[in-house]
């Protein structure tokens, strides 16, 4: 794959050309030359786009595609195309499928379905068999097959001894254990954040305490086992404090936040729009501000779209009966840029690679091309027509966003939406 990118501003602190506008020559999938001006004697495909910016390829640490089993929601093929046109050169696939991805053959299957795509797929294996929270899955075998972490998607591990054993066992082969932050007995049947709005709307509340108790418990177990833990999608101010304290103790812990939990508050629930029914639930303005501050100071390591496609039958129902989840790949960059600078947004979209052992590809000569192409200045209103996923359950429809993604150059392929 050969191409010549013209007049692109590089956004990559690990590149000698950071903040410079240059041409980038790509030959056989590698960056062969970066200079102010490069001629094109071999008549390679030229990429010349308005206000073009280029960064290292973005990574999303939590996406669901449905396949196998829920292909009506999304397929791996279309999911990876959606990710590519949303700027992501790598995604971590949750074991949110039927059957659940909980053994080495399952890992091999989803990897085979992802071959020959521009975006690379990195599977996350279930932590327990069938994600039932009772018996550990084949962690070591799955890691050998290509799993990058172990997580029962949005299902808390209620048995603390099971999580303790998982952390201890994973230490022996460098595995990364993920634990969903919710104490189910406290959360009960709650469907939204327990606060003033839940009372006004007459919806059962899921208190912040349910998350914070679980985070505190998991951090105690982490300290005891000296293991390696990732806490996905925290949502409360107290959770940020708990993780900050754990990092001060030098515990091996990272965490993420779902983009919708920093973009929306529970005030958006007033119309009972089930696209805002997410887990963890949308919290208060105070929580949002604490989460944003946690991202700024590094307490929270990464953002995720927590992309979760759901067909209309699971969303166009009464709020209590709707499934949790929103898609978010297509709106991720535009939403992030309404909160952070372009430089910070790019940093948050690439931060998770090291934790999940995804190769980092700085924009330097000789490196494999793993690039995201975008225009950070475009302002637009996100509409249903902007959705590339099979399912259309986006909480961001109607929101004013900033930044257009052109596509990616990665895995020796070019995928750009003009």
- pLDDT tens-digit profile of 38-97? 999 899 999 999 999 999 999 999 999 999 999 999 999 999 999 999 999 999 999 999
Query: What's the whole-number mean pLDDT along residues 232-261?
Result: 98
What's residue 33's pLDDT?
97
Q: Say if 104 falls within a structural domain.
A: yes
Inform me whether the pLDDT recorded for 418 exceeds 80.
no
Task: Give the list of residues 6+ apart from residue 121 with CB closer than 8 angstroms, or none.
Answer: 76, 80, 90, 91, 93, 110, 111, 113, 114
What's residue 182's pLDDT?
98
Q: Give the closest residue to 214 by CA, choosing from 190, 234, 192, 194.
A: 234
- Distance between CA atoms of residues 147 and 142, nearest Å: 5
- Distance between CA atoms of residues 375 and 268, nearest Å: 29
- Distance between CA atoms of residues 236 and 100, nearest Å: 29
Q: Give the closest residue to 8 by CA, choosing from 58, 47, 56.
A: 47
- Distance between CA atoms of residues 229 and 223, nearest Å: 10
- Distance between CA atoms of residues 283 and 213, nearest Å: 16
Confidence of residue 210 (pLDDT cuts 50, 70, 90): very high
- Distance between CA atoms of residues 333 and 263, nearest Å: 12
The radius of gyration of the chain's CA atoms, rounded to the nearest angstrom, is 21
- Distance between CA atoms of residues 399 and 331, nearest Å: 9
Inform me whether the pLDDT recorded for 417 exceeds 90.
no
Domain count, the chain: 1
Helix segments in 234-284, DSSP class H: 237-248, 259-263
Q: Which residue has the tokens 């909160």?
A: 339
Query: What's the whole-number mean pLDDT along residues 382-410?
Result: 98
Inform me whether the pLDDT recorded for 390 exceeds 80.
yes
Task: Give the list of residues 6+ apart from residue 154 with CB closer than 8 angstroms, or none.
Answer: 96, 180, 279, 324
Q: What average pLDDT does the chain have?
A: 97
- Distance between CA atoms of residues 219 and 408, nearest Å: 37
Q: Say if 79 falls within a structural domain.
A: yes
- The token duo for 6 is 């013209």
What's residue 414's pLDDT?
97
Q: pLDDT digit string (tens) for 304-359?
A: 999 999 999 999 999 999 999 999 999 999 999 999 999 999 999 999 999 999 99
Q: Say if 126 falls within a structural domain.
A: yes
What's residue 41's pLDDT?
86
Query: What's the whole-number mean pLDDT along residues 398-411?
Result: 98
Q: Say if 348 falls within a structural domain.
A: yes
Confidence of residue 248 (pLDDT cuts 50, 70, 90): very high
> Residue 161: exposed, middle, or buried by beta-carbon count in 10 A (0-12, 13-18, 19+)?
exposed
Q: Say if 269 falls within a structural domain.
A: yes
How many Cβ atoms from other residues are within 10 Å of residue 366's Cβ?
8
CATH number at residue 209: 3.20.20.140
Percent of the chain with pLDDT over 70: 100
Structural domain of 262: 57-353
Q: HSE-up of 172 (CA within 13 Å, CB side)?
A: 7
Query: Active-site residue numbers?
Result: 306
- Distance between CA atoms of residues 69 and 189, nearest Å: 26
- Interhelix angle 160-171/208-225, rounded to 10 degrees, is 40
What's residue 22's pLDDT?
98
Show contacts of 107-113: CB within 8 Å, 24+ apart. 107/142, 107/145, 107/146, 107/147, 108/145, 108/146, 109/68, 110/67, 110/68, 110/76, 111/145, 111/146, 113/67, 113/76, 113/77
Inform me whether the pLDDT recorded for 303 exceeds 80.
yes
Dihedral Cα 154, 159, 164, 166, nearest 10 deg:
-50
Query: What's the whole-number mean pLDDT along residues 367-381?
Result: 97
196 forms beta bridges with none
Q: Say if 375 falls within a structural domain.
A: no
Task: Give whole-number Cα distances, 141 to 106, 107, 248, 326, in Å.
Answer: 11, 10, 33, 31
Contact predicate 51/375, CB 8 Å: yes
Q: Say if 245 falls within a structural domain.
A: yes
What's residue 225's pLDDT?
97
Confidence of residue 374 (pLDDT cuts 50, 70, 90): very high
- Distance between CA atoms of residues 257 and 330, nearest Å: 17
Contact predicate 142/107, CB 8 Å: yes
What's residue 178's pLDDT?
98
Q: pLDDT digit string (tens) for 133-176?
A: 999 999 999 999 999 999 999 999 999 999 999 999 999 999 99
Inform me whether the pLDDT recorded for 402 exceeds 90.
yes
- Distance between CA atoms of residues 220 and 237, nearest Å: 19
Q: Say if 260 falls within a structural domain.
A: yes
């Amino acid at each position: 794959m050969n191409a010549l990118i013209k007049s692109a501003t590089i956004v990559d602190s690990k590149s000698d050309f950071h903040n410079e506008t240059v041409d980038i020559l790509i030959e056989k999938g590698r960056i062969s030359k970066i200079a102010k001006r490069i001629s094109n004697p071999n008549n390679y495909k030229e990429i010349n786009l308005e206000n073009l910016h280029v960064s290292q390829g973005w990574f999303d640490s939590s996406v669901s595609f449905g396949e196998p089993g829920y292909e009506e929601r999304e397929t791996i093929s279309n999911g990876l195309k959606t990710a590519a046109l949303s700027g992501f050169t790598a995604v971590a696939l949750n074991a949110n499928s039927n059957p659940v991805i909980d053994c080495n053959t399952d890992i091999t299957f989803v990897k085979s379905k992802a071959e020959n795509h521009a975006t690379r797929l990195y599977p996350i294996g279930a932590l327990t068999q069938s994600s039932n929270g009772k018996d550990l899955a084949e962690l070591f075998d799955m890691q050998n097959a290509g799993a990058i972490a172990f997580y029962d998607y949005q299902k808390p591990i209620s048995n603390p001894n099971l999580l303790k054993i998982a952390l201890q066992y994973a230490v022996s082969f460098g595995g990364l254990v993920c634990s969903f932050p919710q104490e189910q007995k406290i959360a009960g049947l709650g469907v939204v954040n327990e606060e003033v709005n839940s009372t006004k709307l007459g919806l059962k509340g899921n208190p912040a305490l349910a998350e914070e108790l679980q985070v505190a418990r998991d951090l105690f177990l982490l300290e005891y086992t000296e293991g390696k833990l990732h806490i996905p999608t925290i949502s409360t101010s107290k959770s940020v404090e708990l993780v900050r304290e754990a990092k001060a103790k030098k515990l091996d812990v990272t965490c993420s936040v779902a983009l919708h939990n920093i973009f929306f508050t529970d005030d958006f629930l007033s119309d009972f729009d089930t696209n805002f029914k997410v887990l963890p639930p949308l919290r208060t303005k105070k929580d949002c501000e604490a989460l944003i501050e946690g991202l700024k100071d590094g307490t929270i390591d990464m953002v995720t779209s927590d992309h979760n496609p759901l067909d209309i039958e699971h969303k166009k129902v009464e709020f209590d009966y709707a499934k949790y989840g929103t898609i978010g790949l297509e709106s991720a960059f535009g939403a992030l840029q309404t909160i952070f600078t372009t430089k910070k947004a790019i940093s948050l979209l690439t931060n998770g690679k090291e934790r999940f052992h995804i190769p980092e590809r700085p924009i330097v000569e000789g490196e494999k091309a793993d690039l995201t192409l975008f225009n950070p200045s475009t302002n637009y209103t996100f509409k249903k027509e902007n959705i590339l996923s099979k399912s259309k359950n986006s909480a961001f429809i109607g929101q004013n966003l900033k930044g257009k993604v052109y596509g990616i150059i990665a895995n020796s392929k070019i995928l750009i939406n003009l």
